């Protein structure tokens, strides 16, 4: 597999968000308080945390 490319069949991020993880806009949303990963423009994190609620 080439670096940065994920097979669509196993790309859960694409299935969930409709775009590849490399295309997600993480601009200025900070880090997830649960797993310390970047948060996308919908306030969702890869760990399942939704920072947009509560
Ligand atoms: Zn997280």
Round to whole Å and give the CA distance between 54 and 46: 18
- In whole numbers, what is the pLDDT of the chain averaged over residues? 74
Q: In this predicted structure, what is the pLDDT of residue 4?
A: 67
Could you tell me the distance, in angstroms and rounded to a whole number, from the CA of residue 39 to the centre of ligand 1?
Answer: 7
What's 32's DSSP letter?
Answer: -
Could you tell me the distance, in angstroms and rounded to a whole number, from the CA of residue 41 to the centre of ligand 1?
Answer: 13
CA 15, 4, 20: angle at the middle one, nearest 5? 25
Rounded percentage of the chain residues whose pLDDT exceeds 90:
0
Domain extent listing, the chain: 1-54
Rounded percentage of the chain residues whose pLDDT exceeds 70:
74
**Residues around the ion ligand 1 (C-beta < 5 A):** 32, 34-35, 37, 45, 47, 49
**29-43 tens-digit pLDDT:** 788 888 888 888 778
What's 54's DSSP letter?
Answer: -
């Amino acid at each position: 597999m080439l670096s940065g490319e994920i097979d669509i069949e196993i790309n859960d991020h694409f299935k969930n968000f409709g775009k590849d993880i490399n295309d997600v806009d993480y601009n200025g949303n900070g880090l997830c308080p649960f797993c310390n990963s970047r948060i996308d423009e919908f306030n969702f994190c890869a760990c399942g945390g939704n920072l947009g609620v509560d």
